[in-house]
Amino acid sequence: MKGHRDTPLGDLDQWEDDLLRRYPQDESKSEAHFVATNAAKQKEEFRLYEAGARASVKEFYRLNHRYQTFDFVQQKREEYLQLNKRRMSIWEGMEFLNTLVDDSDPDTDLSQIQHLMQTSEAIRKEGHPRWFVLTGLIHDLGKILCLFGEPQWAVVGDTFPVGCAYSDRIVFSEFFRENPDFDHTEYSTESGIYDRGGGLDQVFMSWGHDEYLYHVVKEFLPEEALCMIRYHSFYAAHREGAYDYLMNDHDREMFGWVRTFNPYDLYSKSDVPPDVDGLRPYYEDLISEFFPAELDW
C-alpha cells in the first residue's frame, strides 16, 4: 500500500513520529513555549523543519491541505456523527484499533494498545486524576476511522478550522493554495462564517480522529477531558498560538488542559512495552467508572 495515492505514510504513527521532529522534547519543557518564543525565531524553526521533512510526510500534508474543505467536513460529519457504524465497548474499540495492520515493523513498533497505555501510564505515574488517565488511554481511538476506509489524511495530521482562512502557522500552509476554499469569498476571510471571539464550539474543525472520538465520548467525560480529545491535534492553536480570535475566555482556559496533555501524547513513547494483560484489570475498572458497557461508534 505504501506510495498509494491516499497512503503516503508507511503507517499512521509516522505522522506522530514526525511531530517529534517539529517539536523536540527539550523545547516543550516550558509549557508556554509557544508564547515565549519570538515570532521570527518560530518562523525560522518552522522553515527548517519543513525543509527537512520526509517526502512521504510532505505528500501527506499536501493531500490533507488540498482536500480538507468545508464541504468535505460536512460530508464526513453527516456520514459518521450519527454514530451508527458499530456498537462496542471501549476495550473492544482498543482491540479493533489494534487490528490496524500497516507497513510498520512488527519487531520494533508497538501496537496501538501499547501506544495508548504508554500515554495513560505516563499520566498515571504523575498522580493526575482518574479521568485524565482514562483520557490518555482512549485519546486516539478515533483512528478506527482508518478501518472504516478513510484515507490517512482524513484520520491523522494537524487539525484546523474550516470555513475561515487557513492560518500560516499551520504546518506546510502553502499547500492550502490548492484547496478550493482558499479563495472562496466567505471562507477565505479571517473569521469566515464565524463570529470573532464566539468560541470554538461554533467552529467546524478539519475531519479526523479527534473530532470523531469527541462525539463518541462526549456524554461521559468531564469537559477538560473532552477538550483534550477534541483539540489534541490542533497544533496551530495549542503550540503556535494561532486562531486566538475565534476563541472565548473559556476556550483559553480549557486549552491549558490541552497543553498539559500534549507532552504525554508526544513524549511518552519508550521502548519498553507496557504489560497490556497485567494492566487490563486496572483499566477495565477505570473504563467502567465512566463509560457504559457499550457505546455507539
Q: Are 94 and 116 in contact (CB under 8 A)?
A: yes
C-alpha grid cell, residue 59: 505528500
Whole-angstrom distance, CA of residue 230 vs CA of residue 23: 20
Q: Based on CB atoms, which residue is closest to Fe ion, 98 or 188?
A: 98
DSSP count for the chain of H helices, then E strands: 13, 4
Q: Please, which of residues 117-176 interact with Fe ion by CB under 5 A?
A: 140
CB of 139 to Fe ion, least distance (A): 6
Q: Which of 237, 265, 283, 295 binds Fe ion (CB under 5 A)?
A: 265
Q: Based on CB atoms, which residue is closest to Fe ion, 112 or 194?
A: 112
HEC string for 4-51: CCCCCCCCCHHHHHHHHHHCCHHHHHCCCHHHHCCHHHHHHHHHHHHH
18 near Fe ion, rule: CB under 5 A: no
CB of 260 to Fe ion, least distance (A): 14
How many residues bind Fe ion, per CB under 5 A? Answer: 2
Among 158-166, 244-252, 261-269, 278-286, the segment contacting Fe ion (CB under 5 A): 261-269
Phi, psi of 204 (to 5 degrees): -90, 125
Q: Based on CB atoms, which residue is closest to Fe ion, 121 or 140?
A: 140
| β-strand partners of 204 | 162
Q: Based on CB atoms, which residue is closest to Fe ion, 181 or 210?
A: 210
Chain contacts with Fe ion (rule: CB under 5 A): 140, 265
